A and B are shown apart, each in its own frame.
Chain A
Amino acid sequence: MFDRDRWVEIFETIRKNKLRTVLSGFTVALGIFIFVILYGLGNGLKNTFQQFFLDDAENVLFVRPGRTSIPYKGYKSGRRIEFVNSDISDIEGQFRYFIEYMTPRIFSSVRATYETESENYSNISVGPDHQYIEKTVMMYGRYINEQDLVTREKYAVIGRLVALDLFGQLDVVGHYIDLNGFAYRVIGVFQDSGGDNVERTIYTPYTTQQLLNKSTDKISMFAVTFRKELGHRGSIIFENKLRQYLKEKKVISPRDPRGVWINNLADSLKRNQQFAGALQTIVSVVGIGTLIAGIIGISNIMVFVVKERTKELGIRKAIGASPRSVITMVLQESILITTFSGYAGLFLGILMLSSVGERLDEYFITNPYINLNTAIFATIVLVVCGGIAGYIPAKRAASIKPIVALRDE
């Protein structure tokens, strides 16, 4: 194996049979190249999907008020239901054993101004628990706390991109910004993996917002996370009980499908995970398919190469080559070529992925990458299969009697 003379012989054979070398090398390099690219793009697609759908807490229920559609206990249908602050504390009292976090949400849009910079942003007015539900990560300063709610402070927690838009820098805690004509003190800057839109959001205390909304205690909706121990089935039970409770509280017919909307993320999460699983399967199937195509390609070429060499191998045997040395020569040669070209294909593929990766965001491909282990495994599979594909005809060629191999056509 490590006989220098033998390697010299192999290198000479490779050098003097360029077409053969290029053919088999190209097949393997191309196979690995395409495998890396397709697998990487598939992963990119999956990443985008996960960013879109799997960013928020998985155990969230979004509860929104609606309009009734059935007359009930003297109320006409079409009545608009509204949630108020007391609903929150009532639900918290009622469902203490189900609830992990809970926060009201009031949506508005604001024009934010700092010195000469001005921009429109969405403003969500929330309670402290919202940080955990939305998985918000603080970069500077702090999030809204209970005290802010009590004193109804004009405090703002701004997204990373808001800070960059308005201030041109991130550490802006303590500065004041103008939101629709009111001065708010920036108490925190956050980041969120949910994408640019989330990072262009401003959070304010919901009590402050209610004060500005002519001192109402109305809230647009609320988000609640249930304890993870409940699991998917527990969440369904909680959802049903919560709906029942709210319908009773707001005097809505139990048969009214409207009135209260509850969006259970656990449900959509399950669907999304199934979809993500399907994506993963597609990526794997494409990858395996490419690999199989590559294996077939290299096998064909190995068969062809050995066939072409039958006479040469016969000559070598006639002048004293043992069958074993013939086989190892063919194998070492093919493994050498496939390993080098496989590595080249791997390298080019990864280079290609990393050079175009950034520019594919608009095609819903985020951070296309291939796990290096997967790529190396694929290369090894191809090299081994190329070896096996070469071994079988090489063994046959080596066992052909020299006279047969040398017989003139």
Chain B
Amino acid sequence: MIKLENIHKSYKMGSSALHVLKGINFEVESGELVAIMGSSGSGKSTLLNILGMLDIADKGLYQLDGTPIEKLNEKRAARYRNHFLGFVFQSFNLINYKSALENVALPLYYQGVGRKERQKSAMELLERVGLEPWAKHLPNELSGGQKQRVAIARALVSKPKVVLADEPTGALDSKTSYEVMELIKEINNEGKTILVVTHERDISQMCNRIVRLRDGEVAEDFLTSNRVINH
């Protein structure tokens, strides 16, 4: 599903350059639930940004579902993001003046899906994450866990090939974190490929596979016991 070969990325810091990713190689199969771990500064956010086409690698090959992701202009990046990817952010990033239902439906608006159909799909997904009664509520009327469920529903509504979650539990207490991770696992069990960036060990242990980054390189890449149970 995802194939990375020799990905390099550096940021200019005045006269010197900060080499963040120093040749990342790994592949993700369809249906995997992968945790990307690493301490701050290890390059995990940069990697996620490149995976999410929010940023462009200086060098290397990135293939998503067989499509080489290259020569990205803003317009193409937007289209790829819209069709291939769903995002879940640490701070939820819901539009605060739109109801839960409208937030979930928004990606479909940018796909050009009709209004009725958008609402229907969005409602189905809210049901799926257990927030049907909250559909008309604004984000600030929801708890953190509920907001993240809305964000997950939004990430799924466009039927993406891959869901990228950036510290999805970072702003949540541990109980809610586990609930959200359970939801993510359920969705993964339905066949969706999911990458979770986290620095919390217990969260990463809930995934099937852990890729640990250190200083811009893949330091460890191993399967957790979960995978055995799932298959």
Contacts and interface: CB of A to CB of B under 8 A. Distances in A.
Interface in A298-331: 311-312, 314-325
Contacts of B75: 322-324
Given A5-B109, A406-B93, A408-B91, A319 B81 contact: yes
Nearest to B113: A5
Contacts of B95: 312, 315-316
A398 B75 CA distance: 11
A319 B97 contact: no
A325 B54 contact: no
A399 B110 contact: no
A16 B96 CA distance: 10
B107 A319 contact: yes
Interface residues of B, number: 31
Contact of A323 (B55, B74, B107): B74
Nearest to A319: B107
A392 B75 CA distance: 19
Contacts, number: 68
Interface in B72-114: 74-75, 78-79, 81-83, 87, 89-91, 93-98, 102, 106-107, 109-111, 114
Nearest to A13: B97
Q: Is the interface of A mostly helix, strand, loop or mixed?
A: helix
B106 A318 contact: no
B100 to A, nearest CB: 14
B115 A402 contact: no
B163 to A, nearest CB: 12
Interface string A248-280: 000000000000000000000000000000000
B212 interface: no
Nearest to B48: A403
Given A318-B93, A320-B79, A401 B110 contact: no
B49 interface: yes
Interface string A46-71: 00000000000000000000000000
A315 B93 contact: yes
A321 B54 contact: no
B158 interface: yes
Contacts of A312: 95-96
A9 interface: yes
Interface string A389-402: 00000000011011
A320 B115 contact: no
A408 B89 CA distance: 11
A1 interface: no
A321 B95 CA distance: 14
B106 A316 contact: yes
A6 to B, nearest CB: 9
Nearest to A409: B91
B154 interface: yes
Contacts of A12: 102
30 contacts: A5-B109, A5-B114, A9-B109, A12-B102, A13-B97, A16-B98, A314-B93, A315-B95, A316-B95, A316-B110, A317-B78, A319-B87, A319-B107, A320-B78, A320-B79, A320-B81, A320-B82, A320-B83, A320-B110, A320-B158, A321-B78, A322-B78, A322-B79, A322-B110, A323-B78, A325-B110, A401-B54, A401-B55, A406-B91, A406-B93
Interface of B: 49, 52, 54-55, 74-75, 78-79, 81-83, 87, 89-91, 93-98, 102, 106-107, 109-111, 114-115, 154, 158
